[in-house]
Amino acid sequence: MVQFIIRRLIAMILTLFAISIVAFAIIQLPPGDYLTTYIASLSSTGEQVDPRVIANLRSQYGLGEPFYVQYFKWIGGILTGNFGQSFEWKRPVTELIWGRLGNSMLLEGMAVITMWLIALPIGIYAAVRKYSLGDYLATVGGFIGLAVPNFFFALILMYLAYTWFGVTLGGLFSPGFENARWSLPRIWDFLSHAWAPILVLSMAGTAELIRILRANLLDELKKPYVVTARAKGLPEWRVILKYPVRLAMNPLVSTIGWLLPALVSGSVIVSVVLNLPTAGPMLLRSLTTQDMYLAGAIILLLSVLTVIGTVISDILLALIDPRIRYGGK
Amino acid sequence: MRKTYLGLTGAVAISAMLAAAGPVWAQQQSPMLDAAVESGELPPVAERLPSNPLVVDGESVGKYGGTWRMGMRGGGDNGIIVKTVAYEGLVRFDHEWKTVLPNLAESWEVSPDAKEYTFKLRDGVKWSDGTPFTTEDIAFTVEIYKDPDYAAGSWIDSTTNPMTLEVIDELTFKFTFEKPNGMFLETIAGTDGLHITSLQKKYCGQFYPKYNENADADAQAAGFTNWALYLQDRCAWGFETIRFANPDLPVLYGWVIDQPLNANAARLTWKRNPYFWKTDSEGNQLPYIDNIDMRVSESIEELTLLALNGEIDFQERHIATVINKPLFFDGQEQGDYHLGEVIPSSSNTLVLQLNMNHDDPVKRELYQNKDFRIGLSHAIDRQEIIDVVFTGQGEPFQVAPRPESEFYDEELAKQYTEFDPELAAQHLDAAGLTEMNGDGIRLMSNGEPAKITVDVISALRPEWIDILEIMQLQFQAVGIELELNNIDRTLFYEKRPGNEYDAQIWAGDGGIEALQDPRYYFPFSDESVWAYKWVQWYNGTRPEIAEEPIDWAKEQMALYDQVKAEADPAKRGELFRQVLAITKEQFPVIGVSLMPNSYSIIRNNLKNAPESMFNAWLFPTPAPMDPVTWYFE
Amino acid sequence: MMAVDTIQPTIHADLPKARARRESQLGLMWRRFKRHKLALVSLWVVVIFYLVTLLAEFLAPTDPGAYSARYTYAPPQGIHFFAVNEDGGWEFGPYVNGYKTEIDPVALRRTFVIDEETRIPVRFFAESKPYMLAGIIPMSVKLMGLENPRDPFYILGADRLGRDMLSRVIHGTRISLSIGLVGVTMSLFFGIVIGGFAGYYGGWFDSAVMRVVEFIRSMPTIPLWLGLAAAMPKDWSALQTYFAITLILSLIGWTELARVVRGRFLSLRTEDFVTAAQLDGASDWRIVTRHMVPSFTSHIIAAATLAIPGMILAETALSFLGLGLQAPIVSWGTLLQDAQNIRTLATAPWLLAPGICVVIVILALNFFGDGLRDAADPHGR
Amino acid sequence: MTPLIPMAGKPLLSINDMSIVFTSPDEPDIEAVRQVDLTLTPGKTLALVGESGCGKSVTARAVLRLLDKNADIRTGEIVYEAEGGAVDVVRLKPDSLAMRAIRGAQISMIFQEPMSSLSPVHTIGNQIDEIIVLHERLTQKQARERTVSLLDQVGIPGARERANAYPFELSGGLRQRAMIAMALACTPKLLIADEPTTALDVTTQAQILDLLRQLQDDFGMAMLFITHDLGVVAEVADDIAVMYLGDVVEQGDVFEVFKAPKHPYTQALMSSVPRLQRKSERTRLTPIKGTVPSPKDRPVGCAFTSRCPHAFAPCPTIRPERTPVSEGHVARCHLLTHTKEEALA
């Protein structure tokens, strides 16, 4: 077990290194740099900026050095905890991202929990009552969940909330609670805002989970150990929950890690539409304004979270599945 | 309106009673500040106001209180702040964008050669921290702007027409320009004027090594590499976005930052500046509105819904699009708002700028050929575009001063606008495009088909792509191929210095502020992409690609130099009309239609807000419409 | 009788006869597939949509770029197939209703009322301006047309420029579905080659490939898209961009297929028939192409079918972000981009038609792929 | 119906006239088992013998109502003599409390594949504790004690440690022993062993059979032993029932049947088993000609018709009756009721 974890950790570090290079390459890929986008965005509103300001800034920011020099400066800084400065906000990147990342993780974590809470009973029901009306409903519903682009769903939700309830969905808090401390009313306020994004974010994932769970469970339900368990005299629900469901979940546990990048990507667009203070819109903005250290840090951290998530789910899988833990097949 | 007055007199009477104990009869303040004054935290209103406050009146006398809600597009939208809160320079424009009025400067004098401008500051104006605003601050600002380590650029540190400052006394100072600067007052009445009043010496001096030996060490302690970055973070220039991330920065605005703008902010909020130096004629300290709440949203749809839901009190920016108008129109009752009129400063919905400095000699020659441009212009069925894209709003128009402008010239605005394919064909033939290929596309002198690739950023104005798609078919009918290249805005700008474009699309800026922004009338600025290399010859910013302009353009440049040197507005106008005459003769760029009026969302309980206003960057509405006098009923 | 033979354990198919194996396997699969009614229906839906991509010019009543000032945001006319004749009986005579139009200059819009009185007959196989079907076959007949081309013909309504939504959706189908198909083909190619070799050889190559797959999958896709899409050369034409986008999507999409293929290879590697072929001295290439790949073609088809929806969704998401395809290219993504605002939801919901197409096609592809998968392997996944 | 086979004691379980039909939405119903009659007595072992797919496992599972949802017991009864009186298992709902009280406690079952019949992700101990806690209402700790002693009893060395092992950590023989321990955990009255030794090697097989026999002696339970291996039958069974394609074609005392098989299928089975003989005396084994048809191609009459060397006129159309051959030995064959001449005609 220890060896297993060590092996996974070493692989993780190598992956992270590769990711840092790719992350940096991505933010360098688009033509131009922060300052060109800066000029562009100013002049699109009719504003103009003196070219000398730009020249000044360019030298201050160290833009224009070769790729590898910039990369090593960047990664060197990160190793000492310095993610660089955001050009747009002129603040250290670390100051800017934690709040957003925290919101992202909160929302996405809740989305994952919601997903499981919804998908688990439905998936089990669909598998146990295979080809029943409920199964068909779950399947069709699941596919529709997969097929509707989630930003579209968000938009429709916003519009319906306006026309039906006269409510503007958007943001995570009411004005009074934005900077308040966590308290019961604040949690309530948060939930009253967060249900919409959580619903939207978890929709596609729920559908996917239901499908996988149903398929896995169908496989497991055919296994002889289920009959053994029934032969013991266990009630049916206990048979199913303790044995096949438990085994059907194993492959799902290993997908928790993969869920994260998909969720993050999905949440970028949803967050833009619903104006959520998550890492998504900040990433999108920093990528379009080419605020490269900010973008790089977000990409890197999201990837790190994903990789860590994968490692955790691998370890979790090893913990719940003795066959992996003891190196059996 | 009658009712308004009645309600108000009551409010005023109460405040008058409250203030009766004070020495000055009429000066009132918002009840919001009463507690602070009572506790001694704040001096009484009379001591906070200058001896000679600037008196601004709205249509009616207002009452204190309320929050003005609006929406910012993402975190980087400093424009909306400039257009609402931050427009407090030495001078300001009147509501009609005609005259320059005193603001922080009480009076000024201009030397006859338009080189020397002497200003006298309003006595007793205080920064939002209570410190008096004096010529020391002006001197400090000039000093900082001229420091190469401080990344800002404006007329203060201009190299083409250098300026020197002379402080005469605590309230009087003089700007001296090397060359005549006849339009200086108009310049600083616009957004450019915000630079000189943006930095306070007492606060910002502590980040500058000259006034604080430890500036560098302090910067590093605060996590910055050097003092310059720290200074720029704490005291950013003029209206740079991050200025509004620092709630400690003293300002001269009507409101001061409450919740600052930062990368994580869901909103930027402001509260009234207790030291604000404007009153109404009854002596009530302005502004009437206590708070401003700017929702920070990347989602235009959210802002649209907020406005529809009556959660935005006054706004034009971002949401008032052509496409949304029916939506907002229908939502008036539910949202308890109405629509005001907004007159754009842009003259044209779309300007087709053919690259006259094209590297390909064949294209260069063709694009410089006036017959070619006239031919293209006659090939456009403008009325059809207006009907399709703008639901009939607007009229066929060239790139010319708008009817509201003193420089409006019907001939300039209307020439070659009639749709006439026959005439178009004649002109194109005259331009030498007589041969055609199998697809019916005319051939250029080198035998290549006449294909124009136009760069456009549809993300900026979706209707551009609509117009171009229609023009594409119309041009095709006369044998010209138009290829649309819908690109990212960064690329759009990157292509300019490399001269890698046939043509670019933009809106017709300079329809009202023709004098200040004549980019389409002659090669004036980097935005004159139709003659980018000639601009470089004129401005000298990128000498490596500069090219000597054609004679008529040089003549215009010479004339405009005279405009800039002329202090007398009448003479300036005369000279500028000569520039426009050459523009009319040469017809450098092709326009489509007059930019139709836009609209603003005005909550029904918001009073004194303008039912009609211009909209421009240089006239940053609604700020020149004195939002400090608006109030909620 | 066939079924009896297959469950008869004593009869073992002669192993090296890969061709025979494959045919019987595909035949078997088809028979099993036919039992899934939903999958069968979905297959037809998919076939119809792909036919639409081939016949776009023929099916679309008008040119997708043809605008009309008089009919901006015209609501759908629908189409009537039967008319009441003078005798009060019904007769076949397809027609559409005209519009009554008013301009509201204050609200900046036209209001349309469907005019039940006006009947504009619709003709099938109507003459039209000559065009090239799929760019190669010259034709001058369209499926539907009006006698007078100036009359309004908006079965699915019109967009903000008065362009026919039906025609635009039909042309958008071509781009979006071909992106899916081309992208999946490319993914499949990468997936099979890379996943196949990883699974066949195993060892360090396998672990290296799996690390790469893991690595690509742990990158959030949005920045990858953004970076790659923004890095596209400045002066690429629409067509080049289109292929580049497809390539980008498949560069990210191959990992899933590679995993499936690798898994199959790993389990097949130890199967008797592969060992037999190895003992016969067949080359690796021959073993892979003649023995192994045919034995799981069905799985690959199923996996590929299930991968297409992802591509289509990715295309719409990219267009939403303003990357990817841009107007004037007509794709479901760019069409949806026009529909993504409150105004559309409120006043012109028919602009959501491409969104409904996305949902239908993705549903159909998923059901179809699921059916295929079940048919390919009734016992496991 | 009076039992045709007189038994020494009171029968514990009797299956009377049971038929089981598999339904499918796409295909016609398949009658997997038709009119099976079996009787089990305490302390005795009945071996149910037949080829794969003949319905012997289905019959066994029907007793515990463990059949899949698409299987339907159309006719017949399964009477279990519980302590509180006789219960017809067929009348019980599969997931009912009464049924569950029988499963594991009164009647338990061991399966062919000890690897896949045990959950791979739960320890052996956990899986055995569970049944004890369920039926005996013991605490977890008491249950574990019982488990350990059971494991010890079935001959698993180091029982206490092995209780914490996962199935894949044990050898096949040990796994089957664990399985047996689980089945015996609540001292059932009847043990159904569904090919418990098929997946094991020969020595292990012998050990397991020994163990089962010994445990049967210790616990005094009845055993329904399902196998296709006549050698195993000879070793463990008191009675034998031979099944062919859903029909019990012959049943009786194991010695009787082995000595004088009456049904042609039984005869064929016997002759397909190799005997230990000198090489010179060996005869070629005679395999049964043809293959087992699918149940849906089964003739209305005797199922064996298509492969029977003696098949004659009534065979395909008329079902042979249960015909007593001798004391405790019955068979279903027209040959027993018709004369040889008729058969030859």
Residue where one domain finishes, among candidates D166, D185, D204? D185
Using a threshold of 3 CB pairs under 8 A, tell whether chains A and D touch. yes
CB A117 within 8 A of CB A198: no
**Start-end of H helices in chain A:** 2-28, 34-44, 51-61, 67-79, 93-128, 133-147, 150-165, 184-221, 224-231, 236-240, 246-253, 256-274, 279-288, 292-320, 322-325
User: Which band of pLDDT confidence, cut at 50, 70 and 90, is reported for residue D100?
Assistant: confident
Note the pLDDT of residue A329.
36
Calculate the average pLDDT of chain D: 83
Q: In CATH, what number does B3-199+235-343+600-632 get? A: 3.40.190.10
Name the residue among A8, A28, A211 with its Cα closest to residue A120: A211
Residue where one domain finishes, among candidates D161, D185, D209? D185
Note the pLDDT of residue B170.
93
Question: In this complex, is the C-beta atom of C367 within 8 Å of any C-beta atom belonging to chain A?
Answer: yes
Q: Please report which helix (H) or strand (E) contains residue B34, including its range.
A: helix B31-38
Calculate the average pLDDT of chain A: 80
Query: Does C16 map to a domain?
Result: no
Mean pLDDT of each 10-residue bin along chain B, 633 residues long = 36 40 59 91 91 91 93 83 93 92 94 92 94 95 89 80 93 94 90 92 94 91 85 88 91 94 86 94 92 89 91 90 86 92 92 94 94 95 89 90 92 94 94 89 91 85 87 92 80 81 91 90 90 90 87 94 87 93 95 93 95 90 93 93
Put simply, the answer to whether A149 touches C336 (Cβ < 8 Å) is yes
Note the pLDDT of residue D283.
67
- Report the C-alpha gap between A5 and A311 in whole angstroms: 8
Q: What is the pLDDT of residues C103-121, one digit of tens each?
A: 777 766 778 888 887 788 8
For residue D109, give how far its alpha carbon lies from the nearest alpha carbon of chain A (Å): 7
Q: How many helices (H) and strands (E) does chain D have?
A: 12, 12
Query: Do residue C235 and residue C259 come from a single domain?
Result: yes
Note the pLDDT of residue D341.
60
Find residues 209-228 of chain A whose CB sits inside 8 Å of chain C: 215-216, 219
CB D79 within 8 A of CB D88: yes
- Report the C-alpha gap between C306 and B122 in whole angstroms: 73
Query: Do residue C201 and residue C296 come from a single domain?
Result: yes
A178 vs B contacts (CB less than 8 Å): 259, 266-267
Structural domains of chain A, count: 1
Note the pLDDT of residue D2.
41
Substitution target in A219, A228, A236, A320 with the highest count of D β-carbons within 10 Å is A228
* DSSP states of A37-77: HHHHHHHHTT----HHHHHHHHHHHTTTS-HHHHHHHHHHH
Name the residue among C341, C331, C329, C381 with its Cα closest to residue C361: C331
Domain hosting residue D330, numbered range: 261-344
Note the pLDDT of residue B5.
35
Residue where one domain finishes, among candidates C158, C177, C197? C158
Q: In CATH, what number does B351-591 get? A: 3.10.105.10
**By mean pLDDT, which of A10-24, A222-236, A310-324, D15-29 is the weakest?**
A310-324
Name the residue among B197, B149, B207 with its Cα closest to residue B173: B197
pTM to 2 decimal places = 0.80
Query: Do residue C115 and residue C196 come from a single domain?
Result: no
Residues in C whose CB is inside 8 Å of some CB of B read 65, 67-70, 72, 103-110, 160-162, 230, 234-235, 322, 326-328, 340-343, 346-347
- Report the C-alpha gap between A14 and C211 in whole angstroms: 10
Note the pLDDT of residue B391.
80
Question: In this complex, is the C-beta atom of B499 within 8 Å of any C-beta atom belonging to chain C?
Answer: no
Put simply, the answer to whether C326 touches B486 (Cβ < 8 Å) is yes
User: Which band of pLDDT confidence, cut at 50, 70 and 90, is reported for residue A44?
Assistant: low
- Domain of C311, CATH number, reads 1.10.3720.10
Q: What is the pLDDT of residues A240-276, one digit of tens each?
A: 888 888 888 877 776 776 677 677 777 777 888 888 8
Query: Do residue C178 and residue C119 come from a single domain?
Result: no
Mapped onto helix, strand or coil, the DSSP state of residue D213 is: helix
Structural domains of chain C, count: 2
Chains that touch D (3 or more CB pairs under 8 A): A, C
Domain hosting residue C126, numbered range: 70-158
Put simply, the answer to whether A147 touches C336 (Cβ < 8 Å) is no
Query: Does D89 map to a domain?
Result: no
Put simply, the answer to whether C108 touches B466 (Cβ < 8 Å) is no
Helix, strand, coil percentages for chain C (3-state, nearest 5)? 60, 15, 25
Q: Residue A207: which residues within 8 A CB-CB, separation 6 or more?
A: A141, A142, A143, A144, A145, A146
Mapped onto helix, strand or coil, the DSSP state of residue D87 is: strand
Put simply, the answer to whether A287 touches C219 (Cβ < 8 Å) is no
In B, minimum Cα distance to A166 occurs at: B309
User: Which band of pLDDT confidence, cut at 50, 70 and 90, is reported for residue A45?
Assistant: low
Question: In this complex, is the C-beta atom of B494 within 8 Å of any C-beta atom belonging to chain C?
Answer: yes
Place of tokens 């600067």: B181
Q: What is the pLDDT of residues A271-296, one digit of tens each?
A: 888 888 888 888 878 877 788 888 88
Query: Do residue C114 and residue C254 come from a single domain?
Result: no
Cross-chain CB nearest to D121 (options A231, A233, A247): A247
Question: In this complex, is the C-beta atom of D337 within 8 Å of any C-beta atom belonging to chain A?
Answer: no
A60 vs B contacts (CB less than 8 Å): 151, 228-229
- Domain of A258, CATH number, reads 1.10.3720.10
Question: In this complex, is the C-beta atom of B312 within 8 Å of any C-beta atom belonging to chain A?
Answer: no
Structural domains of chain D, count: 2
Query: Do residue C340 and residue C194 come from a single domain?
Result: yes
In B, minimum Cα distance to C239 occurs at: B485
Mean pLDDT of each 10-residue bin along chain C, 381 residues long = 33 39 63 79 91 88 82 84 73 81 74 82 81 80 80 86 90 87 85 80 80 76 69 66 77 78 74 77 77 70 76 78 74 83 86 87 84 65 36
Mapped onto helix, strand or coil, the DSSP state of residue B446 is: coil
Put simply, the answer to whether C108 touches B329 (Cβ < 8 Å) is yes
Put simply, the answer to whether C109 touches B325 (Cβ < 8 Å) is yes
Cross-chain CB nearest to B469 (options C72, C108, C328): C328
CB B620 within 8 A of CB B190: yes
Put simply, the answer to whether C4 touches D294 (Cβ < 8 Å) is yes
For residue D251, give how far its alpha carbon lies from the nearest alpha carbon of chain A (Å): 27
Chains that touch C (3 or more CB pairs under 8 A): A, B, D
Note the pLDDT of residue C295.
67
Put simply, the answer to whether B327 touches C110 (Cβ < 8 Å) is no
Substitution target in A130, A132, A230, A320 with the highest count of D β-carbons within 10 Å is A230
Note the pLDDT of residue B24.
42
Query: Does A234 map to a domain?
Result: yes
Residue ranges of domains in chain B: 3-199+235-343+600-632, 351-591
C358 vs A contacts (CB less than 8 Å): 147, 149
Note the pLDDT of residue A328.
41
ipTM above 0.85, yes or no: no
Q: What is the pLDDT of residues D213-222, one digit of tens each?
A: 888 888 888 9
Question: In this complex, is the C-beta atom of B406 within 8 Å of any C-beta atom belonging to chain C?
Answer: no
- Report the C-alpha gap between B453 and B360 in whole angstroms: 13
Residue B152's φ and ψ, nearest 5 degrees, are: -150, 160
Predicted confidence (pLDDT) at residue D6 exceeds the cutoff of 50: no
Note the pLDDT of residue C235.
62
Note the pLDDT of residue A46.
56
**Start-end of H helices in C191-320:** 196-201, 203-218, 221-230, 238-269, 272-279, 284-286, 293-295, 297-320
For residue A83, give how far its alpha carbon lies from the nearest alpha carbon of chain B (Å): 12
